[in-house]
Structure 1
Amino acid sequence: MQVEGLEIRWLGHDTFLISDGKVLITDPFDIKERTKADIVLISHNHYDHCSPEDVKKVSHEGTVVVAPENCKSCLKGLKTVFMRSGDEKVIDDVKIKAVPAYNVEKSRLRFHPKDYGGLGYIVDFLGKKLYFAGDTDLIPEMSGIDVDIAFLPVSGTYVMTAEDAAEATKVMRVKIAIPMHYGSIVGSRRDAERFKELASCKVIILE
Structure 2
Amino acid sequence: MANELSGNVKPIAPGDRIEAAGIKIEAVPAYNTVESRLEAHPQRNRWVGYVLELGGRTYYHAGDTDHLPELERLRSEVAFVPIGGTFTMDADEAAGLVKKISPKVAVPMHYGFVVGSKTDAQRFKKAARPVEVAILTPTNAFKQ
**TM-score > 0.5 by shorter chain:** yes
**Match of residue 149 from structure 1:** 78
Deviation track 1:143-197 (CA, whole Å, cap 9, x = no partner) reads 1211100000001010000000010012212111000001222112111111001
Equivalence for 1:196: 125
Paired with 1:193 and 1:102, the residues of 2 have a C-alpha distance of: 24
Partner of 1:77: 5
Match in the other structure for 2:20: 91
Any stretches of 5+ residues in structure 2 without a counterpart? 138-144
User: Equivalences for 1:133-172 in 2 at 5 Å?
Assistant: 133-172=62-101
Alignment match, 1:176 = 105
Q: Does 1:205 align with 2:141?
A: no
TM-score if structure 1 supplies the norm length?
0.63
Distance 1:95 1:128 in 2: 10
Letter in 1 for 2:133: V
In 1, Cα distance between equivalents of 2:64 and 2:54: 21
Higher strand share: 1
Q: Which of 103, 112, 118 is 2:32 aligned to?
A: 103
| Whole-Å separation in 2 of the counterparts to 1:135 and 1:77 | 22
- Give the number of equivalent residue pairs: 135
Q: Name the CA distance, whole Å, in 1 between partners of 2:105 and 2:54.
A: 15
Kept in 1: contact 2:28–2:71 (CA 8 A) = no
Q: 1:78: Cα distance to partner?
A: 2.1
Secondary structure at the residue paired with 1:107? helix
Structure-2-length-normalised TM-score: 0.89
Give the Cα–Cα distance (whole angstroms) in 2 for the partners of residues 145 and 161 of structure 1.
19
Say which structure, 1 or 2, has more relative contact order (CA 8 Å, 6+ apart).
2
CA distance in 1, matches of 2:71, 2:121: 20
Structure 1 ranges of 4+ moved more than 2 A: none
Distance 1:128 1:77 in 2: 28
Kindly state the Cα deviation for residue 115 of structure 1 after the two structures are TM-superposed: 1.0
RMSD: 1.2
**Identical residues among aligned pairs (%):** 41
- Determine the C-alpha separation between the residues in 2 that align with 1:160 and 1:94: 28
Query: Which AA in structure 2 matches 1:78?
Result: S
Asked whether the 8 Å contact 1:138–1:168 carries over to 2, the reply is: yes
Residues 121-140 of structure 1: CA distance to partner in whole angstroms, max 9, x if unpaired?
00002111000000000001
